[in-house]
Structure 1
Amino acid sequence: MSAIDASETSTSKEMTFAEKQAERMKRLRTLHNARNEARTHNHQEVVAEEARNKLPANYEAKRRQAEWLLEDQKKRDESAKEGKDYDRVKLLNVSAIEAERLERKKKKKNPDQGFSTYEQATVRQYNRLVKNMPSADMELYEQQKQKYGDAFYGGPNVIIHGMHKDRKEAVDKMVDDLEGQIAKRAKYSRRRTHNDDADIDYINERNAKFNKKLERFYGEHTAEIKQNLERGTAI
């Protein structure tokens, strides 16, 4: 009987060891899976952070502004379908103080202070052209947004060349706008008397006008430099 009891006890101990071994292996596999999951998650976070760092500083602000414009346009369309004046409906939720502040801001926006620099003139022209742009096609916007997904907003690792195809109507509008700008500039230009004795420092008529503008605004500040260059005494 003692030999049988010893055999049963040995078998019981072997089963207990096997169960412990299986439990240890199970815990080891769990730890391995957790480590791999953490490693994958950390890698994704690093990639996402690197992508965010490469974005422009005002990327989030621009995206929020675009979303606000879309929502505002959607509400405007809904008000138009209901036959309501969206501006009046919108003002119902604005206090008198806020409305007065917005009105003052609108009057001060883009004031014409005359010519200061060519950079400011370019900015004013850009703002004027943007203001005269036609209303956006929101249906097409939503279709493209669904079609391109994350690539719709672009990014440092996104190649968008060839994804968007310009419509013929949009190209025609751009051409008409450019032709209108050219016609407008032609009305304000007048041919001046050509001086045969003047120095030729231009390559065409447009460049000559540009050089005259530079001379008119900056000539007095660069006169001494030009004289030194002509005499060969410039440092």
Structure 2
Amino acid sequence: MPPPPRPPKNSNSSETKPEPPQNDAMAKAKERQARFKALQARAKSGNERNLKETAAETQRLSTDPNLANSLARKHAFASHNLLKADTEAAGEDFERKRAWDWTIDESEKWDRRMEKKQRHRDDVAFQDYTQDARKVYTRQMRELQPNLEAYERDKMAAIEKAAANGDLEIVETADGEMIAVDKNGSFYSTADSIGFTDNKPDRAAVDRLVGDLKKAEEVRLKKRKERRGDEESDVTYINDKNKQFNQKLARFYNKYTTEIRDSFERGTMI
């Protein structure tokens, strides 16, 4: 029996084909583009934030700390005066109201601090030359840094030298304690000792003494200038008011007029 005939091909019918991979590639490209845009936005926001922080840091560094402290102090004074005026206008006791914010311990600490400041203020003021010398001596003793190791080393060397020369005498006290007595005063000096004339200080001690003398001389010259005024500068004023005005001008305009004034002094200005 012959096979059945095949149906004729229809030229209008399309065969089913698999979907091309272009859609997947486009989806991945769109995802990468979205991630890239997100990274760009993140980098832009980071740059803007860094610029703002840099500007704030520059502003903070350029601000004069003395000016900031002065403004804070003026603000504190203004707030204090405003609170005092409002309290007195309301008929209340300002000191009593302000004491509500302080504990007893804090109040006592504040009183002690004020007393200490007042004593220091009274001590700084000139009373007599003896008191002034005492203050200088106290300051020098506070700044003194003794070399205890060198002291002990020199002490043991002097004791050993005195023991070798036979200058140490062993004496028994009343309670039976044995002590060594320096007969010629080579280290433990007395009023009759002359051993200090053989002492030769080291270079560091000499330099420290010279530095202390220079520092004292600078302080003395500074105080003399404060009392008499700056005698080394040229006199360009006729009275104290004119002197203050000239100092204010120099503070603002000296950086612009230095070259001109130097040219006038050299005689090269035309």
Same fold (TM over 0.5): no
Which of 1 and 2 has higher RCO (CA within 8 Å, sep 6+)? 1
TM range (shorter): 0.3 to 0.5
Higher helix content, 1 or 2: 1
